[in-house]
Amino acid sequence: MKNFILCVMCVSLLFAVGCNSENSKKVENQHNSNAIHLNDSALMLMQSVDSTKIRIAIHLLDSAISIDTIQFDRHRFYWNKAGAYAILGDSVRYEKDMETAMSLLPSDNLLRLVFYGKKYKKANKSDSSAYYLSRAIFLCDSLLEKKYDESVVVSKVTALSLYKGDMAAKRCLTEALAKHPESVLLSTINENWNYKKQTFDGFMSNWQRNGIPIEESQSYETEN
């Protein structure tokens, strides 16, 4: 259950990640146009599941990472690189690059908080896990007080599932769905609540089936 919610969150919240960090804080410096071009070329190759094209995409992303020093850009490149490894079925390299991508997000980013909460829970470091997950839940509540956002609801359900258990998470989901029955995302999570086969392989097939959750360069912003 916990892996399933995290899977859905990773796919659905991709664009929220960039927006939540104050519109990427409008990045202080000029983006490296060559790096962005390499990223765009990699994304085009990643629309295919052909392993040769995916490996070329990884090479292009490595080149983009090597020439771009802007933290926000590098987050996107590592995220996309993790996606390429997910398509190849390489869980070790996927995890490594995904963690690097998360580490490049602001410390108060919701997706980052949940990611590290899960990471430390998996490592049986309960104090560290509780620290990140409690912060994530508090942040979700603060954001939801201002306005409804289903991506934030999913983050809260995920954090609750990891921190307080499925009963608390399901209660949160049920309450949100009662208020917003039109939400396809929340309905999907509710309908698949007992679906247990969301391991890395399950995440990978979801990644391939629903389209790669990429960080597109179109959303880059530069400050004049």
Give the Cα separation of 35 and 88 in Å (integer): 23
What's the pLDDT tens digit per position in 77-133? 999 999 999 889 898 999 899 999 999 999 999 989 999 999 999 899 999 999 999
- Return the pLDDT at 195: 61
Tokens of 189: 């999570």
- Return the pLDDT at 185: 85
Q: Is-contact 203 10, C-beta < 8 A?
A: yes
- Least confident segment among 53-62, 98-107, 152-161, 215-224: 215-224
Q: Is-contact 49 87, C-beta < 8 A?
A: yes
Angle at 149 between CA 142 and CA 203, to 5 degrees: 110
HSE-CB at 210 with a 13 A cutoff on CA atoms is: 14
- Reported as a pLDDT band with limits 50, 70 and 90, residue 49 is confident
- Return the pLDDT at 31: 76
Ordered by start, the domain boundaries in the chain are: 23-104, 110-204
| Residue 43 reports pLDDT greater than 70 | yes
Please give the DSSP secondary-structure letter assigned to residue 104: T
- Return the pLDDT at 93: 93
CATH topology of domain 23-104: 1.25.40
HSE-CB at 23 with a 13 A cutoff on CA atoms is: 6
Tokens of 159: 């954090």
Tokens of 203: 């995440």
- Return the pLDDT at 30: 66
